[in-house]
């Protein structure tokens, strides 16, 4: 049986960007005006794929396709952790895509991914086991079913990794065609050499493993996958579909692509994908959609394969891209080298070896089996197990509260130590990039937790390796320089965390008066501040109090006293925060790293801008009534420059139907709105108002108001951001005849 079957796989992943103390992502300047790259790529790729626009000939929307329902995919656990918190609607679509495909095909589209995206053949055996176990637990917690397949980071593979996958119950993985070394029929010993040119990729292969185990391997279509990534195949949906349907034949046509290709690397690439998927969904050219697990269920491997040990999909030299100067990634940088990769790998390995020894030695007094505790910890991270259940199962009996806290700190130490091996640190062209610096920051945090639990300082050991490395940019200097200027300043202590909590509360207008207390938290920790004394008004003066830091994944807390002298000039970052009983230790607030200062600035600007906007809206309502029609030969409003400054709030009054308007008022709004600096904010605000109208609790929103807002906005040349309101309309109201007028105004074709 079979016919022509198609499976397009998207590998969705972002390098870990979390601050390892706060466990949250701070602003990254290069992603501005978005806050950081996760935010930006989610808006450019993940969200568009979750609601991919399919248009008719006149540009009206005929469908918002959830591509995750029709493509095979894996998401990195660390990326989904972020998405669940920060983009819950997109996250819900990802889960829904898997559930619907499970219903349709009997097997879900989602597969798991190695937890920290480490290069598995380069990891220790225990780390391999932990990475697989954490990934499977995370998958099960999210998708409510066991994973059938696993994406190997960079498709980096060796037999031991495949064997551990098989032992963990994983049934298949996906590799590049050039990773196959030999093939034979299942029941014959007719082994023959294989390469990308000769390998038949239309069927899964069986890779035999020690102890009689085995795992299925799919090899993807190299040329087509390559064309999607690098040859602009996504520019036109019909060209893309033409290539797919032209190549589909008896058996499986499978592509493996970076998910971010759709929409991020290629704007509107998600529309080309949605078009191709819709063609296959309709059975055009006799092609039908499947996924790897569904295909495997119906097509047991008839052939066997042997793989190239230590090979990958993105380095033709094997695994050298993640440990040596192999030449990958400098194609566009003549004269650059990656001699830094070796020292970075060696340094992090040296630290991890010492950390592992510390974990096993001290852990032996705290856990019934430290290795099993590490492997099982992933179930706590994803919420499958509660902390209490984990303690019962893994901790030795009768530990003191201090010992329990130490045990939890050891696990947090390992979590960040594993994070430092995310493959991205070595992937690109320079040591001075954000990814290697983040890897070193994770190691810094792990080393700090090591010291906190009694280990010696490993910084000299790490520096003895990375000190031998250099950035290609002479201005950035050596590994030593980068460590001193970029990494070590990120180190957080009780004092610096407290300083940030105080400034954050202040920036958000939440710092209480004497006798009051307030809590501010990040995913990784929470700070409760009590104010005991205050002199002066908010903005200047002196505050004193106590504070307590509690860590989300540890059981202890860090308590201290503090005093904050707010400077006269009102610059909160110019002040000095004294922490501890003697109060002699001064933390200049300006020492807080850039990303964290930027987060404080963002917190402040969002709050103040919102306050100013509300006041403006309240006050300009009168102005909109007072905007009189022109007299005689008058061509613009008297005192036009003042009216102009209030443009966005005046336009809001009209668009939201708060005032009736004269022709002159509308013309003024239209003319002054062209290129007005507040335009972007206004389009977002009107879009948000539509979302609130459509997305509220009521089953029957005011569709008439939706249409009216859109018409009024158009009359003054304002094009609201409709992405989210269109999504809501499609999800909730597309079948409701009373909503059709609003649907047409939102850009939908009649059903
Ligand atoms: Zn290479």
Write the pLDDT tens digit of every residue in 604-622. Answer: 899 999 999 999 999 999 9
Q: What is the pLDDT of residue 384?
A: 98
CA of residue 735 to ligand 1 center, whole Å: 53
Q: Summarize the confidence of residues 87-93 as an average pLDDT.
A: 97
CA of residue 277 to ligand 1 center, whole Å: 33
- For 162, 191, 216, 499, the CA distances from 187, given in Å and listed in that order, are 21, 11, 16, 68
| Coil, strand or helix at 664 | helix
CA of residue 327 to ligand 1 center, whole Å: 6
Q: What is the pLDDT of residue 221?
A: 95
CA of residue 179 to ligand 1 center, whole Å: 14
Give percent of the chain above pLDDT 70: 98
Q: Which alpha helices (DSSP H) does 231-340 contain, by range?
A: 237-247, 269-281, 292-298
Q: What is the pLDDT of residue 503?
A: 86
CA of residue 224 to ligand 1 center, whole Å: 21
Could you tell me if 477 and 466 are in contact, meaning their C-beta atoms sit under 8 angstroms apart? no
CA of residue 664 to ligand 1 center, whole Å: 66
- What residues contact residue 248 under an 8 Å CB cut-off, 6+ apart? 4, 5, 6, 285, 286, 287
Q: What is the pLDDT of residue 537?
A: 60
CA of residue 724 to ligand 1 center, whole Å: 42
Could you tell me if 715 and 691 are in contact, meaning their C-beta atoms sit under 8 angstroms apart? no
Neighbouring CB atoms inside 10 A of 391's CB total 18
CA of residue 312 to ligand 1 center, whole Å: 9
**Distance (Å, rounded) from C-alpha 179 to C-alpha 312?**
7
345-354, pLDDT tens digit by residue?
999 999 999 9
N residues, the chain: 751
Count how many Cα atoms sit within 13 Å of the Cα of residue 221 in the half-sphere of its side chain: 22
CA of residue 542 to ligand 1 center, whole Å: 58
CA of residue 448 to ligand 1 center, whole Å: 33
Quick one: 117 exposed, middle or buried, by C-beta within 10 A (0-12, 13-18, 19+)?
buried
**Which phi and psi angles does 174 have, rounded to 5°?**
-125, 130
CA of residue 330 to ligand 1 center, whole Å: 10
CA of residue 667 to ligand 1 center, whole Å: 61
CA of residue 321 to ligand 1 center, whole Å: 4
CA of residue 319 to ligand 1 center, whole Å: 7
CA of residue 94 to ligand 1 center, whole Å: 33
Partnered with residue 173 across adjacent β-strands are 217
CA of residue 194 to ligand 1 center, whole Å: 21
Q: Summarize the confidence of residues 333-356 as an average pLDDT.
A: 96
- For 119, 178, 309, 346, 352, the CA distances from 323, given in Å and listed in that order, are 10, 21, 16, 8, 15
> Picking from 295-304, 435-444, 478-487, 508-517, which range would have the lowest pLDDT averaged per residue?
508-517
For residue 744 the two structure tokens come to 């047409």
CA of residue 423 to ligand 1 center, whole Å: 13
CA of residue 199 to ligand 1 center, whole Å: 22
Could you tell me if 501 and 530 are in contact, meaning their C-beta atoms sit under 8 angstroms apart? no
For residue 733 the two structure tokens come to 């109201």
Model confidence at 557, pLDDT cuts 50, 70, 90, reads very high
**Which phi and psi angles does 45 have, rounded to 5°?**
-130, -60
CA of residue 325 to ligand 1 center, whole Å: 8
CA of residue 161 to ligand 1 center, whole Å: 20
**Distance (Å, rounded) from C-alpha 446 to C-alpha 410?**
9
Angle at 104 between CA 103 and CA 107, to 5 degrees: 70
Q: What is the pLDDT of residue 742?
A: 93
**Distance (Å, rounded) from C-alpha 38 to C-alpha 87?**
10
CA of residue 323 to ligand 1 center, whole Å: 9
DSSP assignment of 381-413: HTTSS-HHHHHHHHBPTT--HHHHHHHHHHHHH
Q: Summarize the confidence of residues 288-315 as an average pLDDT.
A: 97
CA of residue 122 to ligand 1 center, whole Å: 15
pLDDT at 585 over 80: no
Q: What is the pLDDT of residue 696?
A: 81
Q: What is the pLDDT of residue 584?
A: 67
CA of residue 316 to ligand 1 center, whole Å: 5
Rounded to the nearest integer, the mean pLDDT of the chain is 94
Q: What is the pLDDT of residue 540?
A: 62
149-208, pLDDT tens digit by residue?
999 999 999 999 999 999 999 999 999 999 999 999 999 999 999 999 999 999 999 999
CA of residue 157 to ligand 1 center, whole Å: 15
**Distance (Å, rounded) from C-alpha 43 to C-alpha 240?**
23
pTM for the whole structure? 0.95
Q: Summarize the confidence of residues 467-483 as an average pLDDT.
A: 97
- What residues contact residue 413 under an 8 Å CB cut-off, 6+ apart? 355, 359, 446, 449, 450, 453
pLDDT at 583 over 70: no
> Picking from 123-132, 471-480, 733-742, which range would have the lowest pLDDT averaged per residue?
733-742
> Picking from 92-101, 281-290, 362-371, 576-585, which range would have the lowest pLDDT averaged per residue?
576-585
The secondary element (H helix, E strand) that includes residue 139 is helix 125-143
CA of residue 19 to ligand 1 center, whole Å: 29
CA of residue 267 to ligand 1 center, whole Å: 28
CA of residue 181 to ligand 1 center, whole Å: 18
94-108, pLDDT tens digit by residue?
999 999 999 999 999
CA of residue 136 to ligand 1 center, whole Å: 29
Could you tell me if 241 and 247 are in contact, meaning their C-beta atoms sit under 8 angstroms apart? no
Q: Summarize the confidence of residues 724-728 as an average pLDDT.
A: 96
| Coil, strand or helix at 184 | strand
pLDDT at 539 over 70: no
**Distance (Å, rounded) from C-alpha 701 to C-alpha 698?**
6
Q: What is the pLDDT of residue 1?
A: 46
**Distance (Å, rounded) from C-alpha 44 to C-alpha 58?**
24
Q: Summarize the confidence of residues 567-591 as an average pLDDT.
A: 73
């Amino acid at each position: 049986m079979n016919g022509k079957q198609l499976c397009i796989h998207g590998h969705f992943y972002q390098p870990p960007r979390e601050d390892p103390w706060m466990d949250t992502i701070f602003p990254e300047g290069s992603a501005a005006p978005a806050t950081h790259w996760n935010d930006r790529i989610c808006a450019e790729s993940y969200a568009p794929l979750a609601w991919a626009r399919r248009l008719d000939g006149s540009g009206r929307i005929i469908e918002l396709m959830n591509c995750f329902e029709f493509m095979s995919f894996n998401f990195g656990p660390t990326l989904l952790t972020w998405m669940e918190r920060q983009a819950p609607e997109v996250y819900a679509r990802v889960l829904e895509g898997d559930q619907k495909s499970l219903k349709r095909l009997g097997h879900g589209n989602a597969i798991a991914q190695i937890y920290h995206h480490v290069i598995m053949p380069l990891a220790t055996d225990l780390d391999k086991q932990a990475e697989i176990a954490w990934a499977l637990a995370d998958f099960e917690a999210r998708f409510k079913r066991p994973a059938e397949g696993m994406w190997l980071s960079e498709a980096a593979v060796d037999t031991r990794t495949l064997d551990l996958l098989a032992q963990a119950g994983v049934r298949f993985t996906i590799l590049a065609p050039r990773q196959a070394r030999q093939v034979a029929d299942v029941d014959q010993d007719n082994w023959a050499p294989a390469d990308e040119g000769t390998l038949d990729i239309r069927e899964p292969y069986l890779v035999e493993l020690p102890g009689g185990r085995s795992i299925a391997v799919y090899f993807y279509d190299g040329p087509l996958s390559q064309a999607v990534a690098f040859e602009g195949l996504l520019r036109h949906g019909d060209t893309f579909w033409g290539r797919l349907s032209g190549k589909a034949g008896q058996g499986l046509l499978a592509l493996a692509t970076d998910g971010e290709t759709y929409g991020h690397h290629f704007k509107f690439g998600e529309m080309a994908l949605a078009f191709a998927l819709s063609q296959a969904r309709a059975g055009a050219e006799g092609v039908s959609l499947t996924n790897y697990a569904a295909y495997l269920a119906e097509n047991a491997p008839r052939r066997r394969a042997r793989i190239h040990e230590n090979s990958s999909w993105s380095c033709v030299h094997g695994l050298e891209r993640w440990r040596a100067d192999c030449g990958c990634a400098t194609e566009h940088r003549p004269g650059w080298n990656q001699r830094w990769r070796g020292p970075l790998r060696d340094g992090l390995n040296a630290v991890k070896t010492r950390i592992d020894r510390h974990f096993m030695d001290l852990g032996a007094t705290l856990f019934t089996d430290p290795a099993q505790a590490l492997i099982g910890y992933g179930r706590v991270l994803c919420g499958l197990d509660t902390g209490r259940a984990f303690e019962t199962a893994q901790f030795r009996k009768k530990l003191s509260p201090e010992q329990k806290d130490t045990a939890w700190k050891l696990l947090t130490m390992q979590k960040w130590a594993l994070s430092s091996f995310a493959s991205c640190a070595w992937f690109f062209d320079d040591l001075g990039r954000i990814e290697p610096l983040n890897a070193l920051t994770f190691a810094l945090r792990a080393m700090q937790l090591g010291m906190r639990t009694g280990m010696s300082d490993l910084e000299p050991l790490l520096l003895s390796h990375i000190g031998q490395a250099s950035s290609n940019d002479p201005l950035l200097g050596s590994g030593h320089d980068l460590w001193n200027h970029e990494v070590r300043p990120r180190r957080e202590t009780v004092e610096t965390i407290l300083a940030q909590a105080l400034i954050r509360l202040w920036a958000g207008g939440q710092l209480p008066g004497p006798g009051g207390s307030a809590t501010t938290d990040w995913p990784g920790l929470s700070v409760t501040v009590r104010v005991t004394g205050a002199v002066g008004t908010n903005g200047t003066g002196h505050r004193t109090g106590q504070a307590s830091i509690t860590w989300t994944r540890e059981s202890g807390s860090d308590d201290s006293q503090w005093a904050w002298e707010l400077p006269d000039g009102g610059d909160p970052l110019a002040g000095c925060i004294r922490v501890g009983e003697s109060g002699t230790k001064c933390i200049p607030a300006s020492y807080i790293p850039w990303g964290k200062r930027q987060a404080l600035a963002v917190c402040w600007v969002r709050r103040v801008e919102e306050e100013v906007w509300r006041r403006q809206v309240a006050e300009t309502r009168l102005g909109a009534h007072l905007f009189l029609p022109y007299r005689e030969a008058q061509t613009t409003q008297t005192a036009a420059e003042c009216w102009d400054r209030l443009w966005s709030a005046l336009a809001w009054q009209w668009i939201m139907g708060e005032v009736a308007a004269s022709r002159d008022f509308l013309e003024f709004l239209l003319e002054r709105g062209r290129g007005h600096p507040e335009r972007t904010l206004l389009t977002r605000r009107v879009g948000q108002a539509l979302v609130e109208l459509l997305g509220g609790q009521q089953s029957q929103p005011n569709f008439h108001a939706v249409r009216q807002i859109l018409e009024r906005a158009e009359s003054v040349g304002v094009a609201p951001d409709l992405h989210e309101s269109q999504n809501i309309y499609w999800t909730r109201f597309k079948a409701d005849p009373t909503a059709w007028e609003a649907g047409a105004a939102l850009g939908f074709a009649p059903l």
